[in-house]
Structure 1
Amino acid sequence: MTQEEEYILIGKVLGVWGINGGLKIEVLTDFPERFDAGNELLIGRAPYTISQTSWQKAQVIVHLSEITGIDAAEELSGAQVEIPAAALKKLPKGVYYDFQLIGLEVTDLSGNRIGQIKEILHMPSNDIYVSSYGAKEALIPAVKDVVKEINLQKGQVIIDPIPGLLD
């Protein structure tokens, strides 16, 4: 595991909230309880403890024990919010974190290279893997009929493209 992989991005500080040094954070995790009071976060790789949490739509407002004023909070604006990789929750078999899939090579059943996963779109019915495909992009539905195998050790996703997927 490289230095960058030792930390997992779970949010981004959007700005200051109020005069007491609250922070408005864009949430980038499927586990919003990571922002509950009492939890520890890394902001700019420095540890902070959450003392209070409230939600504003899809964003969280946190107050940190170590930040008591607006000036100190402003210094964190734009910073990444992370957790140590060791704090990751274990997922069920066949379920992956986005960071595990981004960068994997996509091939078809015959071993022909299609591209590399660049992004994952989280849609209501299923996720979509956005893969480079020559000068274009392929939008690959993350469903069993299409995605046949994900092998993290080999860095590979094998798909059985449905008609029109790669046109």
Structure 2
Amino acid sequence: MSKWITIGEIVSIWGVSNSFNVKKISDNKSRFKNIKKIYIQKGDEEPEIINVKEVIEKNDNIIIKFDDNLNENIENYVGKFLVIPEEELKTLKEDEYYIFQLIDLDVYDSNGNFLGKVIKYVENPKANDLIVISNDEEIMIPFIKEFIKEINLKEKKIVVHNL
């Protein structure tokens, strides 16, 4: 059974003919180019495969026009997610990570003190921040080498330089 990775969210209907405004959740610039089929999922449902007629890039979003044979009312697709099987992800370089890989990792300082878990990743033009939870409060740690000492996906942990 595949693990499904979210690459977009249907945020609204666009026009009148099976077209949707989709918020991209993917750094892969060519992810939606020449796409012919897409998987759509809500929650833990098994993804539905839908044929794609057209994709139009629009700033941070895209407009996707689907085949005329949708299985549900068009309104029911709003709020669903575009997903791909994990096997279809591009292989990353050694020090690169997908955001979903960082979520829920335990975070420790250089002395081994537990600081919290990564709860989300926030993009910031000056520095990318990890948000961790510690003693019921959020701490933002810039996701740059000066702050991040080690990321170990096998041990599910991140070590940061002492703050």
> TM-score if structure 2 supplies the norm length?
0.88
What amino acid is aligned across from residue 27 of structure 1 in structure 2?
K
Quote the Cα distance in structure 2 between the aligned partners of 1:155 and 1:137: 19
Q: Distance in 1 between matches of 2:29 and 2:142?
A: 25
Per-residue CA deviations over 1:90-126 (Å, capped at 9, x if unaligned) read 1111110010001000001111101011111111232
- Residue 94 of structure 1 corresponds to which residue in structure 2? 95
Question: 1:35: which partner in 2?
Answer: 32
Partners in 1 of 2:99 and 2:115 — Cα distance? 19
* Deviation readout 1:108-147 (Å, 9 max, x if unpaired): 1111101011111111232101000112111111111211
Q: Percent identity?
A: 25
Indicate if the aligned counterparts of 2:55 and 2:62 stay in contact, CA closer than 8 A: yes
Q: Which runs of 5+ in 1 are unaligned?
A: 163-167
Q: Secondary structure at the match of 2:138?
A: strand
Aligned pairs, how many?
Answer: 157
Structure 2 spans left out of the alignment, 5+ residues: 42-46
Q: Distance in 2 between matches of 1:37 and 1:17?
A: 20
Distance 1:157 1:144 in 2: 12
2:62 maps to 60
3-state SS of paired residue (2:93)? coil
Structure-2 residue corresponding to 1:122: 123
Cα deviation, residue 11, structure 1: 0.9
Greater share of residues in helix: 1
SS at match of 1:33: coil
Q: Return the TM-score normalized by structure 1.
A: 0.86
Question: In the alignment, is residue 24 of structure 1 matched against residue 25 of structure 2?
Answer: no
Partner of 1:48: 50
Amino acid in the other structure paired with 2:8: G
1:14 pairs, out of 11, 16, 30, with 11
